[in-house]
Amino acid sequence: MKYLILFFLSLFNCMAFAQTLQPGFSKSEYLETIKANARVHYDLDKWDSLDKIPPSQQYDFIYRSPVVGFENMWDLWVAKNKSTAIIAVRGSVMTQASFLANLYAAMVPAQGMLELEKNKPFHYELADHPNAAVHVGWLIAMAHLAPDIENKIDSCYKKGIKQFILTGHSQGGGITFLLNAYLKHKQVKAGLPKDIVFKTYCSAGPKPGNLFFAYDYEKINYSGWAYNVVNAADWVPDVPFSIQTVNDFTSVNPFRNAKQAIKKMKFPNNLIVKHMYNKMDRPTRRAQKNFEKYLGRMTSKIVKKTLPDFQSPAYYKSNYYVRTGNIISLVPGPDYDQQFNNTPGNTNIWEHHLFGPYLYLTHQLPD
Q: What is the pTM of this model?
A: 0.92
| CB-based contact 86:198 (threshold 8 Å) | no
**Angle, vertex CA 113, rays to CA 111 and CA 114, nearest 5:** 125
Q: What is the CATH code of the structural domain delimited by 25-243+310-364?
A: 3.40.50.1820
Burial of 214 (C-beta count, 10 Å sphere; 0-12/13-18/19+): buried
Of residues 318 and 15, which shows the higher confidence score?
Answer: 318
For a pLDDT cut of 70, what percent of the chain falls above it?
95
pLDDT reported for residue 232: 97
pLDDT at residue 176 greater than cutoff 80: yes
How crowded is residue 143: how many other Cβ atoms within 10 Å of its Cβ? 23
pLDDT band (50, 70, 90) for residue 264: confident
pLDDT at residue 355 greater than cutoff 80: yes
Average pLDDT over residues 335-360: 93
Provide the pairing of β-strand 111-117 with 226-231: unpaired
Nearest of 181, 134, 139 to residue 320 by alpha carbon? 134
| CB-based contact 172:88 (threshold 8 Å) | yes
Per-residue model confidence as pLDDT tens digits over 12-58: 444 444 478 999 999 999 999 999 999 999 999 999 889 889 999 99
pLDDT reported for residue 9: 41
| CB-based contact 184:216 (threshold 8 Å) | no
| CB-based contact 110:128 (threshold 8 Å) | no
For a pLDDT cut of 90, what percent of the chain falls above it?
80
Task: Provide the mean pLDDT of the chain.
Answer: 91
In angstroms, the Cα distances linking 131 to 107, 120, 212, 303, 334 are: 11, 26, 6, 25, 43
Cα atoms found within 13 Å of the Cα of residue 98, Cβ hemisphere only = 15
Nearest of 135, 197, 211 to residue 166 by alpha carbon? 197
Per-residue model confidence as pLDDT tens digits over 267-286: 876 777 777 778 888 999 99
Of residues 264 and 69, which shows the higher confidence score?
Answer: 69
Of residues 281 and 362, which shows the higher confidence score?
Answer: 362
| CB-based contact 303:310 (threshold 8 Å) | yes
pLDDT at residue 10 greater than cutoff 50: no
